[in-house]
Chains A and B, each alone.
Chain A
Amino acid sequence: MYDAILAESVQFAGANGDLLEGYSARPLDATARGGVVVIHHLPGYDRETKEFVRRFAVMGYNAVCPNLYTRLAPGASHDDAAAEARAQGGVPDEQVVGDVAGAAAYLRALSNSNGKIGVIGHCSGGRHTFLISTELPIDAGVVCYGGLIVGEPVPQMKSMVPLVDRATKVQSPLLGLFGNDDKFPTPEQVDVLEKALTEAGKEHEFHRYDGAGHAFFSPDRPSYRVEAAVDGWQRIDGFFAKHLAR
């Protein structure tokens, strides 16, 4: 089996036609396959997020992560860029939508694309994934412990508004992965989200893990929970295999 992948920094147009930096990993095999947009978390376009991108390529997908902080801090290290974004109150939702649309267009233009697109994000990226599922015609969305989909807005982060009232606009099946010890979102907030999706008749599949809190997928943090992460990756693999038709 030919299993070579290529991982590299790329550029493509995002919101308003702005040139964005992205990190791409893709199989070199010419067989048509789906694409995955990985949305980085608030701490930025970091090494661990890039590892997620490479993992999706190994799983057989073309993958890319747009650097949502390209404009704020061009060329800066990911932690300095994240600090800049924090100081400026985050990035506007409409800009994220345009940037992810650009990343999806990049993936669809690849010669081995089958045209299908999945989106995944953790933490603030989970919230962004829900947002994208309401705004763009994607084929699958994976929300990993996305906070502030349900709840009260945080005054200091003006770009982060709750989104649950947009459940009727969801355009793709959603996979939700949550820790029962999480405080943001709490299990009660996950209940509210699940109820809203059910009432709106939207296809979704939620899995919740005991003994896991926020960021249980992060192998470089004390919050890592191997049982939840291993099961979660299996759920992601099955969900994308079903909806992106490798």
Chain B
Amino acid sequence: MCTHVTETLPVQGSAKGATGWIRVTDATVYFDHPTHALADHTLNIDLRRPVDGPAARLGIELTAASARSLAESILSVLDAVPAELVEG
């Protein structure tokens, strides 16, 4: 299934991609065919810095179950640290 379902959002932080560390500014999240993962469809995340071109990107392809587990872990960790550390 080629869903085309895609969300884009601004982000702040860094990611390490093929060109080294990238100060990322944008993220794309979609559920569709992977490039490399051995699954028909995956939850895909591109962390990007478009101003530096298409190669300034960290790509992630996870099965749906893995993506849910990761999302839950991210929220769990954020909830577990003192609120003042994660504000702003």
Binding site for B on A (CB under 8 A): 41-43, 46, 72-73, 76-77, 79-84, 86-87, 89-90, 123-124, 147-148, 154, 156-157, 160, 182-184, 213-215, 221-223
Given contacts A46-B35, A222-B38, 13 further A-B contacts (CB under 8 A): A42-B32, A72-B54, A83-B48, A84-B50, A86-B6, A123-B33, A154-B4, A156-B8, A157-B4, A183-B1, A213-B40, A214-B40, A221-B40
A127 and chain B: residue at smallest CB distance: B2
Given A43-B35, A184-B1, decide whether A84 and B54 contact each other with a Cβ distance below 8 A. Answer: yes
A83, A160, A184: which contacts B54 (Cβ < 8 A)?
A83
Determine the distance from Cα of A86 to Cα of B32 in the docked complex, in whole angstroms.
11
Cβ of B38: which chain A residues have Cβ within 8 Å of it?
221-222
Choose one: A156, A214, A215; the contact of B6 (CB below 8 Å): A156
- A76→B46 contact, CB < 8 A: no
Q: Which of B1-53 contact A (CB under 8 A)?
A: 1-8, 26, 28, 30, 32-33, 35, 38-40, 46, 48, 50, 53
List chain A residues, Cβ under 8 A from B30. Answer: 86
Residues of B within 8 A of A41 (CB): 2, 33
Interface of A is mostly: loop
Bound together, the chains give a CA A73 to CA B38 distance in angstroms of 26
Query: Is B40's CB under 8 angstroms from A157's CB?
Result: no
Q: List 10 A-B contacts (CB under 8 A).
A: A41-B2, A41-B33, A76-B54, A80-B57, A83-B46, A84-B54, A87-B46, A147-B2, A184-B2, A215-B33
Q: Which of A89, A90, A182, A184 has the most CB of B within 10 A?
A: A184
Q: For chains A and B in complex, what number of residue pairs have CB atoms within 8 angstroms?
A: 86
Asked if B64 is an interface residue, CB under 8 A from chain A, the answer is no
Across the interface, name the chain A residue whose C-beta is closest to B28: A87
Tell me the complex Cα distance, A42–B41, Å: 13
A41–B30 CA distance with the chains assembled, in angstroms: 16
Would B2 and A81 count as touching, CB distance under 8 A? no
A80 to B4, Cβ gap below 8 A? no
Query: Given A72-B54, A87-B28, A87-B46, A79–B2 Cβ distance below 8 Å?
Result: no
Closest 6 CB pairs of A and B: A73-B54, A80-B54, A184-B1, A76-B54, A156-B6, A157-B4
CA distance in complex: A45, B2 (Å) = 16
Chain A residues near B3: list those with CB within 8 A. Answer: 154, 184
Q: Are B54 and A42 in contact (CB under 8 A)?
A: no
Q: How far is the CB of B47 from chain A (nearest CB, A)?
A: 10
B50 engages A76 (CB within 8 Å): no
Residues of A within 8 A of B5 (CB): 154, 156
Q: Which residues of B contact A79 (CB under 8 A)?
A: 35, 59
In the complex, are the beta carbons of B35 and A87 less than 8 A apart?
A: no
Complex interface: chain B residues within 8 A of A76 (CB): 53-55
Complex Cα gap A73–B50 (Å): 10
How many Å lie between the Cα of A43 and that of B5 in the bound state?
Answer: 14
